[in-house]
């Protein structure tokens, strides 16, 4: 049994060290002037509380006015989202209202991209905030004609309370893992709140509309592009490219969101992503297993301490540089409690994702 435990730990440690190396291999982008035609695509459903702020941030973008359009798609909102969009004075805005037989974020994005005039598609969410140079920072990478997809950095807004601190820490760990995997040319995931891709690449390679998952507009496209050329995906290691979004306000909404994220994993076809998913689950399951048995055996207690110590060190080596990049060093003191709780949380979420339905945008999915 000990051999199996330490084989799992070794495989996990090597994976995290590789992601750390991948993060270091990503160079900060040198500023250039490159202004291709861009279509910013956003799907909205019941976002009345976010619409005005979203429009304000879009209006403030420092980008050539003749080379940009904003395509905002209303997905059957039951609040005032559509009327707020229609009354907006935002320049170059196109508002699309999904038909009665069209539903969901993926459908909204597909429709928007097909209508888009831009060479580059830039996607985000309605509750996001970004720097005035966000668009120029993200699309600059496409000066390299070999680049098909750019994954952008996303971070949670600063909030008080231990729950929000741990939530932010977990999210940052996910972002840097995705970035590190891109750095070693073996991308596993990205975040739809901040990603850009060539319209032609989307038209040629997109197959996420064939998936049964209600979400996954980001990861399924990334996997499809990766299967053609794993070096055509880059990560925007640029502070101007950072998008800020809100964490979940309650434990219930947090669990619901994570169940939705985990539910997509059964549909992944990418070997590396599936390998990482199983390895992460096995590592955390082993942690839980050892922590429980350590109460009954001194040998298991010593194995638990060694397992935890090594895992903590390799995780810290990966997470701390990300905290510096996002200017969230204040979260460093929460890494220890995060490590102690994370394994239990992962095991519970994975189990719940297979049996419990989740709610998203007022719709229930099983």
- Boundaries of domain holding 93: 28-160+186-256
Spatial distance between the Cα atoms of 200 and 202, rounded to a whole number of angstroms: 5
Q: 182: which 2 tokens?
A: 């891109």
Query: Is 16 in the same domain as 32?
Result: no
Asked if the structure places residue 169 within a domain, the reply is no
**What CATH number has the domain bearing residue 49?**
3.90.550.10
Please identify, among 215, 232, 256, the residue that sits at the C-terminal boundary of a domain.
Answer: 256
Query: Is 243 in the same domain as 226?
Result: yes
- Specify whether the CB–CB gap between 230 and 243 falls below 8 A: no
Asked if the structure places residue 302 within a domain, the reply is yes
Percent helix, percent strand, percent coil in the chain, to nearest 5: 55, 15, 30
Query: Is 334 in the same domain as 203?
Result: no
Asked if the structure places residue 167 within a domain, the reply is no
Q: What is the pLDDT of residues 213-228, one digit of tens each?
A: 555 568 989 999 999 9
Asked if the structure places residue 337 within a domain, the reply is yes
Query: Is 225 in the same domain as 303?
Result: no
Asked if the structure places residue 171 within a domain, the reply is no
Q: What pLDDT does 361 receive?
A: 58
| 43 phi/psi in degrees, rounded to 5 | -95, 135
Q: What pLDDT does 212 receive?
A: 53
Asked if the structure places residue 289 within a domain, the reply is yes
Q: What pLDDT does 214 receive?
A: 54
- Side by side, the strands of the sheet bearing 194-198 are 93-97, 68-74, 38-44, 120-124, 194-198, 149-151, 233-235
Query: Is 11 in the same domain as 135?
Result: no
- Indicate the pTM of the whole model: 0.91
Query: Is 148 in the same domain as 128?
Result: yes
Query: Is 288 in the same domain as 199?
Result: no
Asked if the structure places residue 181 within a domain, the reply is no
Query: Could you give the C-alpha distances from 274 to 188, 267, 340, in angstroms and in order?
Result: 9, 9, 24
End-to-end CA distance of the chain, in Å? 36
Query: Is 252 in the same domain as 283?
Result: no
Query: Is 137 in the same domain as 39?
Result: yes
Spatial distance between the Cα atoms of 334 and 151, rounded to a whole number of angstroms: 27
The ranges of the chain with pLDDT < 70 are: 29-30, 207-217, 355-366
Q: What pLDDT does 127 receive?
A: 94
Residue written as tokens 């049996």? 355
DSSP label of 104: S
Asked if the structure places residue 176 within a domain, the reply is no
Query: Is 85 in the same domain as 215?
Result: yes
Query: Is 242 in the same domain as 291?
Result: no
Please identify, among 256, 278, 312, the residue that sits at the C-terminal boundary of a domain.
Answer: 256
Number of domains in the chain: 2
């Amino acid at each position: 049994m000990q051999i199996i435990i330490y084989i799992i730990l070794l495989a996990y440690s090597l994976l995290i060290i590789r992601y750390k190396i991948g993060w270091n291999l990503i160079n900060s982008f040198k500023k250039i002037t490159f202004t291709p035609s861009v279509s910013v695509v956003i799907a909205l459903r019941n976002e009345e509380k976010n619409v005005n702020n979203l429009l304000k941030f879009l209006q403030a973008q420092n980008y050539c006015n003749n080379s940009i359009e904003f395509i905002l798609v209303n997905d059957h909102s039951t609040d005032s989202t559509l009327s707020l969009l229609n009354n907006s004075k935002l320049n170059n805005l196109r508002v699309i209202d999904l038909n009665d037989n069209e539903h969901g974020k993926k459908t909204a994005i597909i429709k928007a991209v097909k209508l888009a005039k831009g060479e580059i598609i830039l996607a985000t969410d309605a509750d996001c905030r970004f720097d005035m140079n966000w668009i120029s920072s993200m699309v600059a990478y496409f000066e390299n004609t070999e680049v098909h997809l750019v994954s952008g950095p996303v971070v949670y807004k600063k909030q008080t309370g231990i729950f929000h601190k741990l939530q932010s820490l977990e999210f940052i760990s996910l972002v840097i893992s995705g970035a590190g995997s891109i750095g070693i040319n073996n991308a596993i995931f990205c975040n739809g709140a901040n990603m850009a891709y060539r319209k032609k690449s989307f038209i040629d390679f997109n197959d996420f509309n064939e998936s049964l998952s209600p979400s996954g507009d980001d990861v399924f496209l990334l996997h499809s592009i990766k299967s053609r050329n794993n070096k055509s995906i880059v990560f925007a290691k640029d502070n101007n490219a950072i998008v800020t979004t809100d964490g979940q306000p309650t434990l219930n909404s947090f669990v619901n969101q994570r169940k939705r994220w985990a539910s997509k994993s059964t549909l992944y076809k990418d070997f590396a992503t599936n390998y990482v998913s199983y390895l992460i689950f096995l590592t955390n399951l082993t942690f839980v297993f050892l922590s429980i048995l350590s109460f009954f055996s001194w040998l298991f207690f010593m194995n638990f301490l060694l397992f935890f110590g090594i895992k903590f060190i390799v995780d810290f080596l990966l997470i701390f540089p990300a905290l510096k990049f996002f200017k969230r060093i204040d979260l460093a003191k929460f890494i220890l409690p995060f490590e102690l709780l994370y394994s239990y949380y992962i095991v519970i979420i994975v189990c719940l994702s297979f049996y419990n339905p989740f709610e998203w945008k007022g719709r229930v999915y099983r």
